[in-house]
Structure 1
Amino acid sequence: MVAKTANSEPWLNRGAEEFALEWATENTLPAHFEGILKVVAGRVSKTRAAVRSRLISEISHWDGESARLKELLATGRSARMRPETAYRRARELEERLANRMVSLDLEKLLTAQVPHIRGSALVIPGGMDPARRDRDGVEAPNYPKDTARVERRAVDAVLAAERELDAEPLEMPPNNPGFDIRSVRADGTVVQIEVKGRIVGADDFTVTKNEVIHAKNLGDTHRLALVEVSAGPADEDRLRYVTNAFDDTDTDDFTTTKYVKDWKRIWRMGGDPR
């Protein structure tokens, strides 16, 4: 009965997949693509500098050898290599350098693809089922309300911390895949933050595979924000940022969809917001 009622909702009638695809394209894709572009551009820049330095050094070496060998032959002495050979090697390296620079430039020409919907499910909380309430004789537990309160406090703490860093944070829509806050720092750097809030004394927290993969893709521009929510006022909450929190998390197993992480261990990896 509850499922039938939910399926009659206008937003679901149009098709969950279509709704999810539209939402992902408008809300998730631009920020994700921008983050990937920045990571790729940084990697390409470092590679260009390293390749250029190495090949120019080799080109200079062989040009120098060509000149030295010419002088040897001009004085009547013998040489183990012809000057022309050394000269040819220098020119081949120049061509190799030019081709490599073009290849690296092409690596930065990324194009955003339309997201793919792998599946969909309609999840109905048990508390919405009147039959269950009648059977059990009790209302649904208030744990979801507590969870919502903790998550709200956690997100608010991170938003406040970002503003103290002179950043411009933007809270993403609920259940945004991969991260909860997009923050533009004073120097223009875009940081994406996944927020995990837990009541004081929590032993662990859960992170989805999508969140882990997203964090790995972003590298240093991703933050895992851990917020320890107190039973008292918000100013008693504690916050830590963790960079590269999931570097040691294996994502190769396709049957794994989420991970349970030790709160205290990851907390020790973190530090003040930065």
Structure 2
Amino acid sequence: MRFSSGVPVSRTARSAESSRRVARWVRSASGHGPISSRYDRVAFDLPYIQSDDMARADLLAPGHPLHDAVMDEAIRLFGGMLNSGTVLASSTLEEPHLLVGVIEEVADSTGSSVARRFGYAYVDSSGTITPGGPAPYLDCVAAPEVPVVAEVRSLPWLADAENKATSWIISNQLPVYLAEVQPKRKAELDKTRDLVAKRLQSESERLLLDAAVAAEKERVGDKPKESSDSLNGKAVELDHRLRRRLELLDQQALMSTKPPLILTAALVLPVAMLEGALPATAPIPTKETKAVERRGVELVLACEREIGRQPEEQEFNNKGFDILSTTSFGDTYRIEVKARAEGAKNFFVTHNEVMTGKNAVPRYRLALIRVDPRGAQFDEVRYLDDPFATTELGDFDATGIRGDWDKLWARGKRPF
């Protein structure tokens, strides 16, 4: 990958490399501070700044003049493309959907932001909205510019899709988000209230005591270090400060959601609409039949109950895992189900599934189900608990990986 400025960067966006001169027009257009005409090395991650056999690298991150200047130029040159959106292809959909990226925010009554998050939602042609998961685009590939893509860009239902998504998020997701944020924020405010009250009340009481001592000295003709009037005035001011602080905490305890802000959108097509147009090497999974998938999920649900956990099947579009299983102690296990007909050579694991597997260890299981043509009673299942320990997804175009079925099946164990 190469910046338009002429500064080459790592394909994985991690390592540092020798760079060429920075284009004059990038340096002259920058309003972010001085930019050198040349950088020996640049890096995007802290571990790659210092190298034993190379010069120290400049860390390119938000705030660095070169980074910010290139971002500005990218928006200036390609902003039209960013505004027009893109078209993607997914193997998990059966009809076109609009994928929208939304900022959801909770604020208090002072107007200050309490919590923000970026989420996604899918809109279909009938106006039905479904959550998109944390990063659904990672499991998609770019759709080629073929006639069918040009046709779907003008589908009539797209005109109102964003408005429907906004209304659905206001009615469904924002109340849930507010309910998640309020208890945590209330606990923080209650703790702050106790600490502030104890500190200011204690100081006020000390000042009043000192004021009484000073008043007694004044009564007998001695001169105290500070007059009783001054000390009493400070105590009164502390009381005012405490009252104002508690009033502010009361305002901060009143929270509500702001209207959702849609920042991005992409039209996502089912792979079936692009048959023959996608290259054979496109990093996208093949879709198993629903019967095979169903048998796999049913077998894992039964196995989970058998070993004493309470499994709950997730929605079809949940990105990352298929079953959430709970122990009698309240611990939860995330289980990704991969069912394949007997004789399958490989299977596909998406980017989101890999990241879920990495983050959920040790309470994660990859369930492999070998579906037998003789019937469900002959199906077999094996579990792996840390299948992605050595898996890296550094390439920009990596939407997932293909696993060798036989090798992973050999590593699997009975459900545990």
Question: Residue deviations 1:37-73, cap 9 Å, x none?
Answer: 2232222111111111110110110011011112222
Aligned partners of 2:154, 2:263: CA distance in 1, in Å? 23
Q: Which residue of 2 aligns with 1:99?
A: 244
Aligned partners of 2:271, 2:241: CA distance in 1, in Å? 65
TM-score normalised by length of structure 1: 0.54
Aligned partners of 1:117, 1:71: CA distance in 2, in Å? 68
TM-score normalised by length of structure 2: 0.37
Aligned partners of 1:130, 1:115: CA distance in 2, in Å? 36
Secondary structure of residue in 2 paired with 1:76: coil
Q: Is the 8 A contact 1:25 1:114 kept in 2?
A: yes
Q: Which residue of 2 aligns with 1:37?
A: 182
Structure 2 unaligned spans of 5+: 1-146, 325-331, 339-347, 370-379, 387-395, 401-416
Query: Given the alignment of the two structures, is residue 129 of structure 1 paired with residue 278 of structure 2, yes or no?
Result: no
Aligned partners of 2:323, 2:164: CA distance in 1, in Å? 22
How far does residue 125 in structure 1 lie from its aligned partner after superposition? 3.9
Aligned partners of 1:5, 1:237: CA distance in 2, in Å? 44
Change (3 A) 1:234 1:131: closer
Q: Is the 8 A contact 1:44 1:108 kept in 2?
A: yes
Query: Given the alignment of the two structures, is residue 229 of structure 1 paired with residue 380 of structure 2, yes or no?
Result: no
How far does residue 14 in structure 1 lie from its aligned partner after superposition? 5.3
Q: Which residue of 2 aligns with 1:263?
A: none
Question: Which of 317, 334, 353 is equivalent to 1:174?
Answer: 317
The 10-residue stretch of structure 1 (98-107 or 70-79) with the greater mean CA deviation from structure 2:
70-79
Query: Given the alignment of the two structures, is residue 62 of structure 1 paired with residue 207 of structure 2, yes or no?
Result: yes
Change (3 A) 1:30 1:129: same
Q: Is the 8 A contact 2:336 2:367 kept in 1?
A: no
Q: Is the 8 A contact 1:196 1:224 kept in 2?
A: no
Query: Given the alignment of the two structures, is residue 117 of structure 1 paired with residue 230 of structure 2, yes or no?
Result: no
Change (3 A) 1:89 1:109: same
Question: Which of 74, 77, 92 is equivalent to 2:222?
Answer: 77
Structure 1 unaligned spans of 5+: 183-192, 212-222, 240-255, 261-274
Letter in 2 for 1:229: L
Secondary structure of residue in 2 paired with 1:15: helix
Q: Which residue of 2 aligns with 1:15?
A: 160
More strand by share: 2
Change (3 A) 1:145 1:91: farther
Q: Is the 8 A contact 2:337 2:368 kept in 1?
A: no
Secondary structure of residue in 2 paired with 1:32: helix
Aligned partners of 2:227, 2:323: CA distance in 1, in Å? 63
Query: Given the alignment of the two structures, is residue 90 of structure 1 paired with residue 235 of structure 2, yes or no?
Result: yes
Change (3 A) 1:21 1:53: same
Once the two structures are superposed, the pairs formed by residues 211-250 of structure 1 within 5 Å of their partners are 227-231=364-368, 236=383
Aligned partners of 1:205, 1:196: CA distance in 2, in Å? 15
Q: Is the 8 A contact 1:196 1:205 kept in 2?
A: no
The 10-residue stretch of structure 1 (224-233 or 59-68) with the greater mean CA deviation from structure 2:
224-233
Query: Given the alignment of the two structures, is residue 24 of structure 1 paired with residue 161 of structure 2, yes or no?
Result: no
How far does residue 231 in structure 1 lie from its aligned partner after superposition? 2.1
Q: Is the 8 A contact 1:172 1:181 kept in 2?
A: no
Aligned partners of 2:286, 2:335: CA distance in 1, in Å? 16
Change (3 A) 1:96 1:73: same
- Over the matched positions of the two proteins, sequence identity in percent amounts to 21
Letter in 2 for 1:230: A
Letter in 1 for 2:364: V
Question: Residue deviations 1:134-167, cap 9 Å, x none?
Answer: x86x9x9754449x959979x979x98xx979xx
Question: What is the root-mean-square deviation in Å for CA atoms of aligned residues?
Answer: 5.1
Change (3 A) 1:118 1:142: closer
Secondary structure of residue in 1 paired with 2:368: coil
Q: How many residues align?
A: 201
Q: Which residue of 1 aligns with 2:195?
A: 50
